[in-house]
Amino acid sequence: MAEFRMPSLGADMEAGTLVEWLVKPGDLVKRGDIVAVVETQKGAIEIETFQAGRVEKILVALNTEVPVGTPLAEIRGDGEPAVVVPPAAPVPLAAPPLPPQAPSAPIRVPASGARILASPAARRLSEQSSIDLSTVKGSGPAGAIIYADVAQAGAAAPPAEKRKAQWLDLGAMRTAIAAAMTRSKREIPHYYLQDQVDVTGCEQWLTEKNAALAPDSRLLMGALAIKAVALAARRFPLFNGFYLDNRFSPSQAIHVGVAIAIRGGGLAAPALHDTDRCSLDDLMSHMRDLVQRTRAGRIRGSEISDPTITVSSLGERGVEALFGIIYPPQVAIVGIGKVVTRPWVIDGAIGPRSVVTITLSADHRVSDGHAGALFLAEIGKLLQEPDKL
Amino acid sequence: MSTSSDKPHLTRDHLMDLLRHMIRIRRFEDKCAELYQQEKIRGFLHLYDGEEAIAAGVIPVLEKRDRIVATYREHGHALVRGVPMTTLMAEMYGKQEGCSRGRGGSMHLFDRATNFHGGNAIVGGGLPLAVGLALADHMQGNELVVACFFGEGAVAEGEFHESLNLAALWGLPVLFVCENNLYAMGTALAISESETDISRKAASYKITSESVDGMDVVAVEAAARRAVHAVRETHKPYFLECRTYRLRAHSMFDPQLYRDKTEVESRRKSEPIARLRQWLETNHMVHPEEVARIEAQIDAEIAEAVAFAEAGTWEPVEQLTRFTYADAVAPAANR
Amino acid sequence: MQAAATRSIATEMTYREAVREALRDALRRDKRVFLMGEDVGRYGGCYAVSHGLLAEFGPERIRDTPLSESGFTGAGIGAAMAGMRPIVELMTVNFSLLALDQILNTAASVRHMSGNQFGVPLVIRMATGAGRQLAAQHSHSLEGWYAHIPGIKVLAPATLEDARGMLWTALQEPDPVLIFENVMLYNMTGPITADAGAVDIGKAAVRRAGKDVSLITYGGSLWKTLEAATALASEGIEAEVIDLRSLRPLDDATIMQSIAKTRRAVVVDEGWRSGSLSAEVGMRIVEQAFWELDAPIGRVCSEEVPIPYPRHLENAAIPQAPKIIAAAKAVLARR
């Protein structure tokens, strides 16, 4: 039994409507006989059978639209061998041709409020050299940052400039701080030590030194403390480095991170590079610059990631002692309290002295109290000779 | 079987050859119609029913080294020329075993081995090509004939006039064969040409022109022999108008709203195969059993061709751009 | 002057003469080469390019044709297919539109469509461009359109060396090659070495090295671009000028190498802006050198108007040095 199907009559024919049968069941047909009329979008077309035999059964009612290939009638073959033609093998779908150049992954733009116009070349360079685009001034079309601008910014520190735009997304910063501090407390077994240091000598030395300096180049106590910490860290490497992959890697270089409060509730602790090798004057000016830039939201990426130990001070408005939480992957943080006048015993007599409480929070996986005490003591000792800092 | 004679040799064997050629075309076309309706053959399909006498009458007169340019209704021409039916059917299917690697389909059958310079889907597009082939042969002293087949619809195209003019002007050995089936797709000749006597148009270019009954294969052959002989002798073009009729629609998807069914049926009475067969039977030159045997042989050949096509393979998609340009000696990027 | 030692001595020649020398050289070296087109023979060529060739090579090889662009271009295709090496001269790109069907549907398609059985080693030369106040129908620059077609190659010789040397290389190609000669270049005079010969046809050339911006151009616009580059240099801007030479295929490597150096590009293209070749070049730069860029890509094209007759309007309609200078400065954010 062979099926007479709705034929495809054209490249764009998908269906047809049978409008007339020219044969009925029982009729004998031969190859080439017209057996029905189909209505198509072009008009009525007569369709022929390629099967010879007797019409057995009509399968489709008139005036129904059916898709090409639908069986319309059954024709019983008359001894003529039916040419069995297997159904059309599916034509392989063309694979979409590969683009000649796969575009590289888009450069990740730092979260910011305003959009930064920077050329693709500039963006790539800034990512490669960890330069924050928001700190770079653009000289290209429409003020866009171009490659040369970024290259230049990498070579020298950009001039300090007030930016009106609010870079600081304090919400994001708080979240980051929360994550870091939580991790620190969770992973790092802290131990805490404190020591009181007589800094009267420092104060006197500073007064003398600063008398000859302009206000904006005067040294502050904080600089002395930071330098002392850096020099002490040279002698006690267990407090200067990173704890990563279950291992402590002491750092050759000493970059003291300086905790800086940001108006609005933010906090950052960027590095003063090679603190131990800076002169006090340089240290002071770097600190000033760092504070200014940090508060304006223009620190470089390397400054954020490079500190090998952190010093935190709340200054004059602070408390007597502050115990910091270590910034991972660092292994120590030194806290400097405010300078207070205390009764002190010198050479057997009681007299007023300027005293500051210095604390150490340290990673017990790396060091223990004994080492910590020596480290703290060293800091105190160094502060007795400010002219040697 | 071609001879250099300018008159047909009407032996029984020769007449049976002509009949066989025509039946072979008819049944091949019939099978194509069936396969098309089953969606094995796709795109456009233009069938030659009723016009077989032209291909069968003209092409065997040509020599192997002569050239043929044809149209999109060229299956019959390819068959008579000797392009293997297997590769033709595979080409219909789009398989890479086809004569054009499957890339051309029904309208673009090419075969270098038999100097078959292609079907062409642009009406009139083959005429300048034929002129160029003949120009090259002329300049290279090749002594060849280029047979260019086209429908009467091409006569309206500028290229028809440009080509005839060039061929006559430069004395090129082109045999222009106009297959006048009275309808250019759905437009009758009478409503598209101010001058419907086509051989007269050709004559206006100072080309020797002849008109012949295209439904009479013997007449066609006789005319073809005269024409080819003249082209070879004079190195000048010749125009042969063959008046014929297309029994099927222009293509598969054509409800033939432009002509009357009665007209088609009355033309069917004088179609070339029936006509030759009748003459042979009347003159006791053939027995119906013989014809049945021929038909069976042809059907077997067709079945084999279909099987060949079915078993054929699809050209890998990775090869898509290959032969946009010739393969370089060193592989070059395809642009 | 010792004849033996003059090999590298420069001689003064016009672009027209360079093309003529190329033709003469090809006609002498290869018997299969012949020139065919309107008024190439007795008239000596519309632009006097083929002046004197008829007398030297005779009417078989320098063929005047009737005004039948489609006819004789198709004939060129056929002749190439059958073993000759024709050079078809279409008087201008404006008239080539009448032959577009033959160029696209036959010449460009046959190899792929026939499954690599037939190729068309044809060279077509056309004059192109505006600047002679010939008005809308005689001033097109359609090289970009032709460069869109797969299966052919498209060349734009802008220098004497290229006018002299591209033709022979093009004649060796197994596929069709279109050579566009800008009308404003024919009178251009310059030095060329006496033994100047065939040049490559696939690579762009850096005509002027620079580091600040890449000016990418072809054909008649090359000289305006070089003029602009000189002016830019006096303002401290060092422009690199790239002569594309081949419009299909485009030499991506040379372009991107330049962009990597300068980070800025301006494309100068005498075609109408929208959908022009400059769009293709610009897109390729975006695809392949996006991260090298310091500025959006600029372009200087013809205004989207039919080219008008009066000098001042025609000048305003097509690329000029001042516009190129302005465009270069714009991508440098300078005024």
Tell me how far apart the alpha carbons of residues C100 and C121 are, in angstroms, rounded to a whole number: 17
Tell me how far apart the alpha carbons of residues B170 and C227 are, in angstroms, rounded to a whole number: 48
Tell me how far apart the alpha carbons of residues B245 and B273 are, in angstroms, rounded to a whole number: 13
CATH of the domain at B253: 3.40.50.970
In a domain, B225, yes or no: yes
Mean pLDDT throughout A89-97? 49
A181, A271: one domain = yes
Report residue C55 as tokens.
């007398």
pLDDT of B99-156, one tens digit each? 999 999 999 999 999 999 999 999 999 999 999 999 999 999 999 999 999 999 999 9
| Total number of domains constituting chain B | 1
In a domain, A89, yes or no: no
* Minimal Cβ distance to C295: which of A99, A124, A140: A140
Q: What pLDDT shows up at residue A173?
A: 72
Interface touch C82/B137, C-beta < 8 Å: yes
Neighbours of C304 (CB within 10 A): 10
Is the pLDDT assigned to residue A107 strictly greater than 50?
A: no
Give the distance from residue A121's alpha carbon to the nearest chain C alpha carbon, in angstroms. 5
Q: What pLDDT shows up at residue B333?
A: 44
Q: What pLDDT shows up at residue A178?
A: 81
Report residue A125 as tokens.
């360079």
Interface touch C114/B108, C-beta < 8 Å: yes
Mean pLDDT throughout B145-172? 97
Q: Comparing A115 with B85, which gets the higher pLDDT?
A: B85
Tell me how far apart the alpha carbons of residues C272 and C266 are, in angstroms, rounded to a whole number: 15
Interface touch C290/A103, C-beta < 8 Å: yes
Mean pLDDT throughout B190-200? 94
A179, A270: one domain = yes
A212, A70: one domain = no
SS3 C266: strand
Tell me how far apart the alpha carbons of residues B90 and B118 are, in angstroms, rounded to a whole number: 16
Give the distance from residue C117's alpha carbon to the nearest chain B alpha carbon, in angstroms. 6
Q: Starting from the edge strand earliest in sequence, which strands make up the sheet with C246-248, in order? A: C62-64, C33-37, C85-92, C123-128, C177-182, C153-155, C246-248
| Total number of domains constituting chain A | 3
pTM score of the predicted model: 0.72
pLDDT, averaged across chain B: 94
Interface touch C79/B132, C-beta < 8 Å: yes
In a domain, A121, yes or no: yes
Task: Kindly write down the DSSP assignment for every residue of A310-323, as one continuous string.
Answer: EEEE-GGGS-S---
> Could you tell me how far CA A99 lies from the centroid of its own chain?
28
For domain C205-331, is the CATH number 3.40.50.920? yes
pLDDT, averaged across chain A: 83
Q: What pLDDT shows up at residue A174?
A: 78
B110: closest chain C residue by CA: C114
Structure confidence at residue C290 as a pLDDT band (50, 70, 90): confident
A31, A153: one domain = no
Give the distance from residue A9's alpha carbon to the nearest chain C alpha carbon, in angstroms. 24
Structure confidence at residue A168 as a pLDDT band (50, 70, 90): low
Structure confidence at residue A91 as a pLDDT band (50, 70, 90): low
Choose, from A255, A286, A364, A370, the residue flagged as catalytic.
A364
In a domain, A352, yes or no: yes
In a domain, A132, yes or no: yes
Please identify which residue in the block is written with the tokens 């059309």.
A88
Is the pLDDT assigned to residue A105 strictly greater than 70?
A: no
Give the distance from residue C325's alpha carbon to the nearest chain B alpha carbon, in angstroms. 32
Q: Which of A282, A225, A234 is nearest to A258 (CA)?
A: A225
Q: Matching CATH topology for C13-193 and C205-331?
A: yes
Interface touch A9/B40, C-beta < 8 Å: no
Tell me how far apart the alpha carbons of residues A239 and A368 are, in angstroms, rounded to a whole number: 10
Mean pLDDT throughout B302-314? 98
Q: Which of A193, A261, A258 is nearest to A229 (CA)?
A: A258
Tell me how far apart the alpha carbons of residues A126 and A149 are, in angstroms, rounded to a whole number: 10
Tell me how far apart the alpha carbons of residues C98 and A74 are, in angstroms, rounded to a whole number: 54
* Minimal Cβ distance to B44: which of A11, A88, A91: A11
Q: Provide the number of CB pairs (under 8 Å) joining chain B to chain C.
A: 152
CATH of the domain at A61: 2.40.50.100
Q: What pLDDT shows up at residue A82?
A: 47
* Minimal Cβ distance to B255: which of A11, A42, A48: A42
Q: Which of C226, C214, C223 is nearest to C282 (CA)?
A: C214
Tell me how far apart the alpha carbons of residues B330 and A332 are, in angstroms, rounded to a whole number: 66
Catalytic positions of C are 69, 138
* Minimal Cβ distance to B136: which of C83, C115, C153: C83
In chain C, what are the domain boundaries?
13-193, 205-331
Burial degree of A98 (CB within 10 A; 0-12, 13-18, 19+): exposed
pLDDT of A270-286, one tens digit each? 889 899 998 988 888 88
CATH of the domain at A115: 4.10.320.10
C286: closest chain A residue by CA: A103
Which is it for strands B183-184 and B187-188: parallel, antiparallel or unpaired? antiparallel
* Residue C172: partners with Cβ closer than 8 Å, 6 or more residues away: none
Q: C-alpha angle with apex C32: C26 to C38, nearest 5 degrees? A: 75
Structure confidence at residue B1 as a pLDDT band (50, 70, 90): very low
In a domain, B64, yes or no: yes
Is the pLDDT assigned to residue C15 strictly greater than 80?
A: yes
A66, A187: one domain = no
Is A106 in the C-facing interface, judged by CB distances under 8 Å? no
Q: What is the dihedral of CA A18, A22, A23, A29, to 10 degrees?
A: -110
Task: Find the helix packing angle between B288-311 and B85-93, rounded to 10°.
Answer: 50
A328, A381: one domain = yes
Interface touch C78/B101, C-beta < 8 Å: no
Kindly report whether the peptide bond that precedes residue A329 is cis, defined as omega within 30 degrees of 0. Answer: yes
Which is it for strands C62-64 and C33-37: parallel, antiparallel or unpaired? parallel
Q: Which chain B residues are closer than 8 Å to C115 by Cβ?
A: 98-104, 110, 323
Neighbours of A321 (CB within 10 A): 18
Give the distance from residue B155's alpha carbon to the nearest chain A alpha carbon, in angstroms. 27
Q: Which of A258, A269, A223, A254 is nearest to A382 (CA)?
A: A223
* Residue A40: partners with Cβ closer than 8 Å, 6 or more residues away: A9, A10, A13, A16, A17, B253, B255
* Residue A362: partners with Cβ closer than 8 Å, 6 or more residues away: A190, A191, A193, A239, A326, A331, A332, A372, A375
Q: Which of B253, B200, B216 is nearest to B15 (CA)?
A: B216
Residues of C (245-284) whose Cβ lies below 8 Å from A: 263
Tell me how far apart the alpha carbons of residues A201 and A207 are, in angstroms, rounded to a whole number: 10
Q: Which chain A residues are closer than 8 Å to B314 by Cβ?
A: 91-92
Tell me how far apart the alpha carbons of residues B108 and B119 are, in angstroms, rounded to a whole number: 5
In this structure, what are the phi and psi dihedrals at residue C14, rounded to the nearest 5 degrees?
Answer: -90, 160
* Minimal Cβ distance to C106: which of B129, B134, B136: B129
A204, A306: one domain = yes
Q: What pLDDT shows up at residue A165?
A: 43
* Minimal Cβ distance to A140: which of C288, C292, C294: C294
Q: Which of A150, A98, B334 is nearest to C287 (CA)?
A: A98
Q: What pLDDT shows up at residue C335?
A: 61
Test the C interface: residue of A137, A146, A149 with most C CBs within 10 Å: A146
Test the B interface: residue of A50, A68, A80 with most B CBs within 10 Å: A50
Q: Which chain A residues are closer than 8 Å to B40 by Cβ?
A: 85, 88
Q: Of A57-61, C215-219, C262-266, give the lowest mean pLDDT range.
A: A57-61
Is the pLDDT assigned to residue C28 strictly greater than 90?
A: yes
Which CATH number applies to C13-193?
A: 3.40.50.970
The residue count for chain B = 335
Sign of the dihedral defined by the CA atoms of residues B224, B230, B235, B238, in that order:
negative
pLDDT of C241-275, one tens digit each? 999 999 999 999 999 999 999 999 999 999 999 99
Q: Which chain C residues are closer than 8 Å to A121 by Cβ?
A: 263, 291-294
Tell me how far apart the alpha carbons of residues C260 and A138 are, in angstroms, rounded to a whole number: 20
CATH of the domain at A261: 3.30.559.10
Is B325 in the C-facing interface, judged by CB distances under 8 Å? yes
Q: What pLDDT shows up at residue B4?
A: 57
In this structure, what are the phi and psi dihedrals at residue A48, rounded to the nearest 5 degrees?
Answer: -110, 160
Please report the ipTM that was assigned to this predicted complex.
Answer: 0.87
Interface touch B255/A13, C-beta < 8 Å: no
> Could you tell me how far CA C208 lies from the centroid of its own chain?
19
Mean pLDDT throughout C5-24? 87
> Could you tell me how far CA A19 lies from the centroid of its own chain?
68
Is C326 in the A-facing interface, judged by CB distances under 8 Å? no
* Residue C209: partners with Cβ closer than 8 Å, 6 or more residues away: C240
Is the pLDDT assigned to residue A224 strictly greater than 80?
A: yes
Q: What pLDDT shows up at residue A156?
A: 65
Q: Which chains touch A (3 or more CB pairs under 8 A)?
A: B, C
C285: closest chain A residue by CA: A101
Q: Provide the number of CB pairs (under 8 Å) joining chain A to chain C.
A: 40
Q: Which of A337, A333, A336 is nearest to A367 (CA)?
A: A333
Kindly report whether the peptide bond that precedes residue C249 is cis, defined as omega within 30 degrees of 0. Answer: yes
In a domain, A83, yes or no: no
Most confident of A46-60, A127-141, A157-171, B66-80: B66-80
Give the distance from residue A77's alpha carbon to the nearest chain B alpha carbon, in angstroms. 17
Test the A interface: residue of B35, B37, B310 with most A CBs within 10 Å: B37
Residues of C contacting chain B (CB within 8 angstroms): 34, 60, 63, 65-66, 68, 70-84, 86, 101-102, 105-106, 110-119, 150-151, 153, 174-175, 248-250
Is the pLDDT assigned to residue A108 strictly greater than 50?
A: no
In a domain, A91, yes or no: no
Q: Which of B82, B72, B64 is nearest to B25 (CA)?
A: B82
* Residue A70: partners with Cβ closer than 8 Å, 6 or more residues away: A5, A6, A60
Report residue A213 as tokens.
């300096």
In a domain, B6, yes or no: no
Report residue B20 as tokens.
């066989």
Q: Which of B54, B222, B52 is nearest to B148 (CA)?
A: B54
Identify the domain containing residue B262 by its residue range.
13-313
Interface touch B314/A92, C-beta < 8 Å: yes
In a domain, B331, yes or no: no
A90: closest chain B residue by CA: B314
Partners of A198 in beta bridges? A355
Identify the domain containing residue A133 by its residue range.
107-159
C249: closest chain B residue by CA: B335
Q: Which chain C residues are closer than 8 Å to A99 by Cβ?
A: 287
Sign of the dihedral defined by the CA atoms of residues A131, A135, A136, A141, in that order:
positive
In a domain, A203, yes or no: yes
Q: Which chain C residues are closer than 8 Å to B137 by Cβ?
A: 82
Interface touch B326/C174, C-beta < 8 Å: yes
Q: Which chains touch C (3 or more CB pairs under 8 A)?
A: A, B
Interface touch C295/A99, C-beta < 8 Å: no
Q: What pLDDT shows up at residue A13?
A: 82
Structure confidence at residue A385 as a pLDDT band (50, 70, 90): very high
